[in-house]
Every structure is written in structure tokens, then in C-alpha cells.
A and B are shown apart, each in its own frame.
Chain A
């Protein structure tokens, strides 16, 4: 491998060469920065690039490796979605209301990466406050899909997925409330995983919908994603929704990853293959399921989870309701943008929020405020929470019979920039297959299972709560049997 191609490596490849001292983190990081300079004007996946700090942290990583005190992530360049706080580094949530916000503290998941020795190169673009499925809701600029620059990268973690796909970073962190890691991973042809709710601390993740939000890895392949999860997962007393059962738990998600799927029971959710799924997408996913059969798994092609048809409706009550409450904190007083015109306290607050928030954020605040307002609470919010119980129970029943459930990640191929911007409901449908996992709090992963018109197609696997090892093993087996993940976009 030529030195200037170092950015093309996976984490596992780079980790090995770093440990053998055949390459240095500074060389690797410089290669990544070179790649960023080359393709970023086209991809526009970043909101903030930390070149000087990255080289300094690569130098520290090299010292750690020299001293023998290092981890598999030491010296590996990565990128953080811009809704995770990092002391001293601008964290904007792609919103004007946080344009000048510099956090005085660091998110736990980010701190764990820093402690592992990873080299954080910058912050990734996203839909404002993680609300969207195309990254076009960023207040600063849209990101372009590396496979076709006229198309969206998906969202809301579109910057994270596009950056990894374009070779501008070896990995990224994203956050997933209704599909925001998995949908862009599918659109950009990389691996994206939403862990079980509570597996990764949300401390320092700027809240969108607290009962659904979860941080997860975006990687070039399944093994890399497992390596990232090893670092970021675990109990955190700073997040009261972090799972206490994980205290003293040091699961190595790579340990059983090669054990195969022989004897596993895999179910195909028939409700997620409706006529609203494009034929090339369902064909590729069905073909992928047959490959699991060839690898020794038993497949039930006709599993029904009837309540999943309510998942999107429940989501668009639960998520906006929680958002309207979470975003009440942006009042122009303590931090962030503040309208400085003449006027009363209320005018100050209303104008700060009216100017600071973009259209999608306002839509969701209004929707949530409406759903939670007097007289509507029972009909909307409580009803949605009850439907959440139905969906959760159906998944629990299904996982008594099946190890893994399969759907497409997205109903369509990546769409053109601007195509769905004026029709929010159409945009929301991008997440029809991914939302149920957030509603049920279960882990799910998206990986490439084919291409159509030169664009990647995502295979979506779900497992029961805390079944990450099995989920990763299943995804890894598929990846080993196919070579879709070896393709890289020509930019």
C-alpha cells in the first residue's frame, strides 16, 4: 500500500500497522487531512475541521504506542456528529441558535474515544437538531452523497456517513432517534448501528427526543463498528437512562463476531416489504436473506408484526413532544443566539427562537406543543405511548422465536437534493423501516447488500434488547460472504 493511500484503510488494518509501528498516527492523520482537502469541497460533510489539534493528538497517540500503553483505537482518526459536546470545540447541532456555542464539557462517548487515543479530526454536518432524513435541514449547508453528488447522503447523521464513505475519516459517531444513523449509512454505503437504548451514554449528546436518542458507530465495515462500540458502550452515572446492568461489563463485541450464523433463526418482517418499497431495494434485501439460508441459518419469510404499521405515527407524536420540551431551553439567555433588538423579555425569547430555529425544527416544536396541550394529551401522547407498548410487546414475542429480524433500511435509493424538501411527510417516510427499532429500544444495524444505478442499498438487521453480539456476528457473516463493502465511491 502506498503511503498516500493510508486514508483508505479500515480501523482493523490501521490498528495492526500502528501497533507494529509500520505506520505512525501522524502519517495516517495527515493522509486523512489530505483526503479531506481533496474531496471536502464536493462532499461538504464537515461543519468544523480540527486540523492542528488532530495532528497534536496524533503525536500524543504515537507516543502512547511507543510507550506500549495503547488501545486498538489509539491513533485512529475519527469524526463526531455535531450534536455531541466536546470541550472547547464548537458544537452547533447545525443550528443558527447554537452557532457560537462552545461547550464547557465533553460528552461521555466522545471522552471515551479521546481516552482510547482516537484522533478526533472534526465535527460532522447533520440535519438541524437531528431532525430530518437528508441533512438538507442543516442551517449551514447541505452535504452531498459521495456516490452521486446530486443526491442526498440521508440524515440526520448525513455528514458522518458521507465523510466515512468518502474516506475523509476512518470512522464517525452518529446519533439515531428514528433511523438517523442507519438511513444515511444505507444511502452512503457504509455500516451504521443503533445500539440498545441505554447501552451508550447520552451525557453530552444534545437532546432531541430523550426516550429514543442513542449514539452509535458509523464504520467502513462491521468489524470496525464493533471496535468502536467496544469503546463507547457502558454504564455512565451521568446519564440516568444508562443501563445499570452494564456496570463492570466489559463485553468485547469483536470476540464472537466470526462465529457465523449456522443454526440461527432469521425472520423477514412482511409489513416492511409493502409496495412503498422500491423493487431494486426489496430484491437486493431478499437476495441477502437467501444468502443467510445458504450460510446455514433458518429463514421464516413471512413474519408479521402488525403494530409496526403504527410506528411512524407514534413516532411523530413521541419525538416532537419530547423535542418541544427539550428545546424549550433555547431562550437566548444562558447560551446560544440571542435576538438583540428592542423589546420585552417575551419578544426577546420569541424572536430568538423564531430566527434561531429552522422550518423543520419549528414544525416539530409546534406539533409537539399541540400534542401535549390541554385536551389533546390523552388522544395523542398517551395513545402513542400505549401503541409503543404494543410495538415493544410484538418485538419481544418475535424475538422468542427469531434471533434476527430483517427489513430494508430505506424504502428507496438515495434521492436527489431538493426532491422531498417541500413535502415533510414524504421525507418522514424515509424512516418507515428504521423507526420501529427506536420505538422498541432494540439494537439494529445497516450494511450494504447491493447496488442499483450505482447507488448503495442497505440491509437492516434488528435483534432483541442487548443482543449486539449476535447482531454484529450476523452482519459480519454477511459481509464476509459478499464483497459489496469493498466498493468505494469515485469522487
Chain B
């Protein structure tokens, strides 16, 4: 983590544009500008974490210590196709319909 002062720019606008693309969220340049200043404020306040001494401290991945929860391999009733498709914005012949995946023209 970068050491930070209150008004450091940790994330510049180009990096944020890249993050927005990774997030698959469309944006306007104006939106990005506001977000950039807000996110830098937030990241600066998060900088306090670098003061915490975590040498030899294990990461907590699950608070109650459970891991690998298995169930018996028994099949149970699932939702009907109709129920599942009821919420799909587009469906056709019993399937969810999506935009063309391989064709850039679509």
C-alpha cells in the first residue's frame, strides 16, 4: 500500500477508466471525474491500515472458522424451467437469449 497524505492522488483518471472497464460498468467522463476525487479521499483514509503491524498475523478469511462445507450428493427437486425463465429479459424456445458473443457486429 502506498504511504499517503490527506490529499494524495492514489488513483489517477486513466487507472480509474481501466477499473471501470474491468468492472463492466459504462460511464461518462464527468461521472469519472467526480468518482476519481471521491475514491481518492476514500483511499487516503484507508491508508491508515499501513500503520497496523500485521507481521506474522494470519489473514481471517472466514470469521466463524468454518471451511469446506459439504452436503450429501443427493439430487433434489429444482425450480422449473418456466420459473427460472420468468425473470429473464429475453428468452426463446426455453432458453435465455443473449446478444451475439463471437460476432462484433451484433
Where the two chains meet, the residues of A that have a C-beta atom closer than 8 Å to any C-beta of B are 101-102, 104-105, 196-198, 211, 237, 240-241, 243-244, 307, 309-310, 312-314, 316-317, 324, 328, 331-338, 340, 343-351, 353-355, 357, 359, 362-363, 365-367, 369-370, 373, 379-380, 382-390, 392, 424-425, 428, 440-441, 465
Contacts and interface: CB of A to CB of B under 8 A. Distances in A.
B1 A362 contact: no
A438 B55 CA distance: 23
Given A104-B83, A309-B48, A380-B1, A363 B35 contact: yes
Contact of A333 (B27, B58, B86, B96): B96
Contacts of B43: 367
Contacts of B19: 366, 369-370, 373
B26 A367 contact: no
Nearest to B72: A237
A104 B71 contact: no
Nearest to A239: B69
29 contacts: A101-B87, A104-B84, A196-B64, A197-B63, A241-B62, A313-B49, A334-B96, A338-B90, A343-B99, A345-B98, A345-B99, A345-B100, A349-B24, A350-B25, A354-B25, A357-B25, A366-B39, A367-B42, A369-B19, A369-B22, A370-B19, A370-B39, A373-B22, A380-B46, A387-B49, A387-B54, A390-B54, A390-B57, A424-B42
Contact of B58 (A316, A324, A386): A386
Contacts of B83: 104
Given A351-B26, A367-B43, 17 more contacts: A101-B87, A196-B64, A309-B48, A310-B49, A310-B51, A313-B47, A317-B46, A317-B49, A334-B88, A340-B89, A363-B35, A384-B49, A385-B59, A392-B60, A392-B63, A424-B42, A425-B42
Given A380-B1, A388-B59, A353 B71 contact: no
A159 B73 CA distance: 41
Interface string B40-84: 011101111111101001111111101001010000000100011
A359 B30 CA distance: 12
The 8 closest A-B pairs by CB, nearest first: A354-B26, A441-B63, A385-B59, A338-B89, A335-B87, A386-B54, A240-B69, A379-B1
Nearest to B48: A313
Contacts of B93: none
Nearest to B79: A104
Interface of B: 1-2, 11, 15-16, 19-20, 22-27, 31, 35, 38-39, 41-43, 45-52, 54, 57-64, 66, 69, 71, 79, 83-84, 86-90, 96, 98-101, 104, 106
Nearest to A331: B24
A350 B90 contact: no
Nearest to B71: A237
A390 B64 CA distance: 15
Contact of A390 (B39, B41, B52, B96): B52
A338 B47 CA distance: 37
Nearest to B11: A370
A382 B87 contact: no
Q: What's the dominant secondary structure at chain B's contact region?
A: loop
Nearest to B38: A424
B22 A336 contact: no
Contacts of A369: 19, 22-23
B94 to A, nearest CB: 14
Contacts of B62: 211, 241
A355 B25 CA distance: 8
A353 B24 contact: yes
Contacts of B59: 382, 385-386, 388-389
B62 to A, nearest CB: 7
Contact of B20 (A355, A366, A387): A366
A333 B88 contact: yes
Given A345-B99, A366-B20, A313 B45 contact: yes
B87 A104 contact: yes
A335 B88 contact: yes
Contacts of B26: 347, 350-351, 353-355
A318 to B, nearest CB: 10
Contacts of B48: 309-310, 313
A370 B31 CA distance: 17
Nearest to B10: A370
Contact of B35 (A102, A347, A362): A362
A313 B66 CA distance: 25
Given A346-B24, A440-B63, A333 B98 contact: yes
B25 A365 contact: yes
Most buried by B among A345, A359, A382, A465: A345
Nearest to B59: A385
B50 to A, nearest CB: 8
A104 B86 CA distance: 9
A196 B26 CA distance: 38
B31 to A, nearest CB: 8
Contact of A383 (B27, B35, B54, B69): B54
Nearest to B16: A366
A367 B39 contact: yes
Contact of A310 (B52, B58, B98, B106): B52
Contacts of B90: 338
B24 A386 contact: no
